[in-house]
A and B are shown apart, each in its own frame.
Chain A
Amino acid sequence: MLFRVISVLSLLVLAGRLTHLRFRHETVQAGAQAGSLSRAAYFRWLGRGVSSLFRPAGWQWMRATFVYYCSSYPAPMLKWVFVALSASFLYLTVSGLAFALFSPRGLFGIPLVLHVISGGIFALSLAADVVVRAKEYSSIIEVFTAGGRPMGYLLGLFSKPLRQSVLYWVFVLSGLALITTALFSMLPYFGFQTQVALIETHRWAALAAALSAMAFFDAVLPRKEA
């Protein structure tokens, strides 16, 4: 019950926060007027955005976003790393959280089989992605201290590059926890209490991975300019 409550709240709060920041940026860019940053305006903006996903304009936006992400990978082949990682993680998140939140029985049936298959793909693609992108996000210390001390550190703490690095590594660590708990639950070494603890860890790691992935995706995706 606690997991369900915290999952729903944290996902909604983070999604709301990130979309609200984008709404503010877009509204300011477009010329803010009195009342244009109100709650009602935000929800109207959100509604328009969600509905646009189901129209050709929305699809074009998604395609453009996909192209943008793929362009950050050096070799064409490695684009498939991103595709595999994101697609598998998307399915894992949706299936896992949907059953965890709404099904009293938990994951079962064909979704379970696909979840396990996706888990294998996720593990492989995460390893490949880390190999490729680790260097890019490993200069946390330099980013943190780039502005000089002490105010520079504070500013560095909120800088976009640092945020992206931290979110990336949170995602990687969560993914590592997911893979480890999945593997350990399949080994004949751990008793019932440990199995239960592994499942709980897997759930919380999945939530952390989902939240960090959302925030990372938002941090990397450029905002609309006027």
Chain B
Amino acid sequence: MKNWEAQPRTGPVAGQPHASVQKTGIPGKRKFPCRRFRFLFRVVGRPARRHPFSLHLLGSREKKNAEEKMKPSRVASAALYLSAVIGINVLLLAGPGEAAQQQRPQQKWDGNRTTPVHLIPLKDELDQPIIPTETNPLPFSSRYTCAPCHVYETIRQGLHFDATLAPEAGRPGEPWIWVDERTGTLLPLSYRKSKGAFDPAQVGLSGWDFTLLFGRHLAGGGVSEPPDSAFTPGSRWEVAGKIEINCLGCHNRSGAQDPSEWAKQILRENFRWAATAASGIGEVGGMASRVKGTWDIYDGPDPDDTEWAVPPFVRYDPALFDSRHRLLFDLDHKPANDRCLACHSVTPVDKAKYAFDEDVHTAAGLKCASCHRNDLGHAMVRGYEGEAGDYPGMAGEDFTCAGCHLGDEKAKGEKALAGRLGAPFPKHKGFPAVHFKRLSCTVCHAGPWPGKELTRVRTSRANRLGIYGVARWSTDMPAIIEPLYIREKSGKLAPHRLLWPAFWAEQAGQEIKPLQPQAVTAAAGGLLTPEKGVVRILTALSLGFEAGRTAVLILAGHVFEVNLDGGLNALPYAGEPSAPSPQWAVMQGQEIVPLVVDFDPEAEEMDPAVEAQLQAVLESLASVEGAPGKPVLLDKKALYQITDTYLEKAESPLPPLTSPQLAWLVEGKVTPLVPDAELRRIASLAGTEQTLTEDQVKAVLETLSRSSAGPEGAEGKRFSYISGGKLFRLDHDGRLEVVNHDAAGPVTWPLGHEVRPARQSLGVNGCKDCHRFGSPFLFRKARGTGPLQTAHVMTISANAFMRLDRPYQKLFGLSFVVRPLLKWVLFLSILVVGSIVVLVVLLALGRLSRLLEKRN
């Protein structure tokens, strides 16, 4: 890796002409080798370096002639060539990082406590300086821009970047959740070994797929910066570029740092441009996702397509750069809390933003990075008990709860002292010492107060929080609940968050292999989108209305209208339906009127307005995509259809109906406009966050089984669906059966925040906060939830998570009812026994003194 400061300057310094520029003898006038050279000289002051997009190449005729004259002999040339080859090989083998380290020893902190001013030139991924005004510059590269001073290879070993390098990473953290609402998938994924989470490779996800799915909240590096040898078929790393470690994502103090822009660029596959766009240093346009797979950065823009498949480009604002093309980075050595919360926000679902209380440490003025520290290696302190055992060299014990609040009794000197960073010393009055052996500090002090129901929360990474734009990014699913108190490997209880996974899987014995949502969608087809038929019909009907009027469906107490995503919004319907469900209607503002006005089909003459309306409705229905037949209206004994553009009345083949109904006429038979099964599914899921019904699951499982069966009808693979803590599969009779399975169990991970103040900790009201007959702490239940609407869910009691005996805990809780009586008994006993002891002592002293008097 080149050190830009160490490179000898081959061109002139600013203000001085290049050697190729000849003097004409006229003041202010010089002779330039070409017009482009002259233009660039005026703009840049000296020739630009060679660059893929640059229009100017170094060199002039005179220089070349001079070089020709100075050419050495052939032997000398060969020797020079060989030594150059050997030298290059040595450098390549040593590696750029090592070369840089050899050239420049690793910088040590000189003791200055301020952040140095970073007025530095930008470098691109080719290690070339970025000139903001040149045509088609590349985005800046953190590897080469930051790296001369901060060794990149050291940083990439850090906690945020080493998931694929360090599967064992101490205490488990939150897994990534692959959410697909259509297939009802909530699949926990993690490159680190975590109970309940699947390795992405096991699910068939390459690094490219993983980056596309989760790059919105990735910090760069790691899986999103694979070596060239790790490129998988189907990936587009050459087009999109790699996502280098996004230093500015954490260390940029500027308010222009935009996580939403980062997510947007990742979605567009503008990986190498994402950091530039998100930091606000440059404006990025174009979409790598639309560009052909053969494109790379050397191709530049496509002059034939400036509308659709525009390759990504960046435009820098020259005003941000000084005359030497250096940019001022407004940096924070210790990142602000906003940078951390962009990916690590956790908030209760039902809480308004203004009502949310932050962590007590934050309220006291501490930053996240005040405790979660790291050196250049970025192996961040996580602050859990026992971290020092997992990472011996990190001084993790210093930043646990006890480390700051209690000090280390076994240590000497300053480390033995409590009160670091002003941490108050807890007295824990009346708190029996056994609790410190069984509970971690966070049980009483972190997370929400344990109420009757568990608290549902949303997290940045699972629910895609903090990304704002035209579309809504955040999702309601997955449902994550907290706090559940689970015993960790240290034997202590600690609060955890919990997720019930949901996914389709191929089952071989007890082994479960999750299926990708796209595979399920491909096999299931329309089974997973029962609303599509209704959407098509409502869309077709709405096209025939004037502005302000929308076709809706009234069904099961809900009004369904088409939304922007092509799905259905369900609103409660307060009115009385004038006809049996389903009813097609028109919504105009707040008013809902029937689609087909009331008329007498047995009348001799039909009102022309009614006739025109009927005709318009039937013509709209005829344009429905995938219509199975001709649309008809049935009313009493009549059947109305469009024949040769005229409304024709015929006799209905069905018994007389009490109210008008729309239907399809398919080969002479009348079929419902929307199949009953689809209407049932839509009705049952209306107003809920579930997306699947049991009959849908059964139908999909049947389809999957059929598609995997052999050509001769041999038994295919066994498939299942997991949701709400249960596994659903088809039994030998083809019925849906529900069983327990380890893979369906909840996925949990510890929580550390938000820490509550001391006056809001568990136990502040006495022992009964936890120890009473029906205390939520011990006895509330975690009920399985998921995308499947079913009564078959797993329910686990809080004491089961703690591995405590329920009857005993009930009994123990009851004992606290008589505890005040016990205290009085002990007190009175002490009074009686103590009084008598004192009396006896006094008597004995009296007798002794009499004895001594007698002797005297």
Contacts and interface: CB of A to CB of B under 8 A. Distances in A.
Contacts of A192: 426-428, 431, 433, 436
A109 interface: yes
A195 B823 contact: no
A141 B848 contact: yes
Contact of A189 (B430, B766, B815, B847): B430
Interface string A120-142: 10011011001100100010111
A176 B836 CA distance: 11
B433 A123 contact: no
Interface string B828-853: 11101110110110011001100100
Contacts of A116: 815, 822
Interface stretch (A9-17, A55-63, A167-175, A213-221): A167-175
Interface string B739-777: 000000000000000000000000000100000000000
A176 B428 contact: no
A138 B844 contact: yes
B543 interface: no
Interface in A179-196: 179-180, 182-183, 185-192, 195-196
B766 to A, nearest CB: 7
A188 B848 contact: no
B429 interface: yes
Given A120-B822, A169-B840, A141 B847 contact: yes
Contacts, number: 97
B847 A190 contact: no
Contact of B832 (A131, A141, A187): A131
A19 interface: no
Contacts of B429: 188-191
Contacts of A106: 434, 437
A204 B570 CA distance: 71
Contacts of A30: none
B271 to A, nearest CB: 52
B71 interface: no
Interface centre among B426, B427, B828, B830 (most CB of A within 10 A): B830
Interface residues of A, number: 40
A108 to B, nearest CB: 8
A145 interface: yes
Interface in B409-459: 426-434, 436-437
A109 B851 contact: no
A67 interface: no
Interface string B121-138: 000000000000000000
Contacts of B55: none
Contact of B431 (A124, A145, A180, A195): A195
Contact of B829 (A126, A185, A190): A126
B646 interface: no
Interface centre among B434, B826, B834, B843 (most CB of A within 10 A): B826
Nearest to B819: A186
Nearest to A121: B825
A130 B834 CA distance: 10
A130 B434 contact: no
B433 A188 contact: no
B356 interface: no
Contact of B826 (A113, A173, A183, A195): A183
A141 B826 contact: no
A8 interface: no
A176 B808 contact: no
B851 A179 contact: no
A131 B832 CA distance: 8
B298 interface: no
Contact of A134 (B431, B805, B840): B840
B597 interface: no
A173 B834 CA distance: 9
B836 A130 contact: yes
A31 B389 CA distance: 67
B837 A176 contact: yes
B837 A173 contact: yes
Nearest to B814: A113
Contacts of A124: 825, 829
B308 interface: no
Interface in B245-286: none
B766 A130 contact: no
Contacts of B433: 192, 195-196, 199
Interface in B795-811: 805, 808, 811
A67 to B, nearest CB: 27
Contacts of A187: 430, 823
A182 B836 contact: no
Interface string A137-164: 0101110010000000000000000000
A110 interface: yes
A120 B847 contact: no
A120 B826 contact: yes
B819 A127 contact: no
Nearest to A189: B429
A121 B775 CA distance: 28
A145 B848 CA distance: 10
Contacts of B827: 183
Nearest to A140: B844
Nearest to A107: B434
Contacts of A145: 851
B826 A182 contact: yes
A37 to B, nearest CB: 39
Given A109-B808, A113-B815, A141-B847, A179 B430 contact: no
Contacts of B426: 192
B473 interface: no
Contacts of B844: 138, 140-141
B835 to A, nearest CB: 9
Nearest to B846: A141
Contacts of B231: none
B39 interface: no
A179 B808 contact: no
Contacts of B812: 113
A140 B819 CA distance: 38
Contacts of A188: 429-430, 766
Nearest to A198: B433
Contacts of A173: 837
Interface of A: 105-106, 109-110, 113, 116, 119-120, 123-124, 126-127, 130-131, 134, 138, 140-142, 145, 169, 172-173, 175-176, 179-180, 182-183, 185-192, 195-196, 199
The 8 closest A-B pairs by CB, nearest first: A188-B430, A123-B829, A191-B427, A127-B832, A183-B826, A141-B847, A127-B829, A195-B433
Interface of B: 426-434, 436-437, 766, 805, 808, 811-812, 815, 819, 822-823, 825-830, 832-834, 836-837, 839-840, 843-844, 847-848, 851
20 contacts: A105-B437, A106-B437, A109-B808, A126-B833, A127-B832, A130-B832, A130-B833, A130-B837, A138-B844, A140-B844, A141-B844, A145-B851, A169-B837, A172-B833, A183-B827, A183-B830, A188-B429, A190-B430, A195-B431, A199-B433
Given A123-B825, A172-B837, 6 more contacts: A105-B437, A119-B822, A120-B825, A130-B833, A186-B819, A188-B429
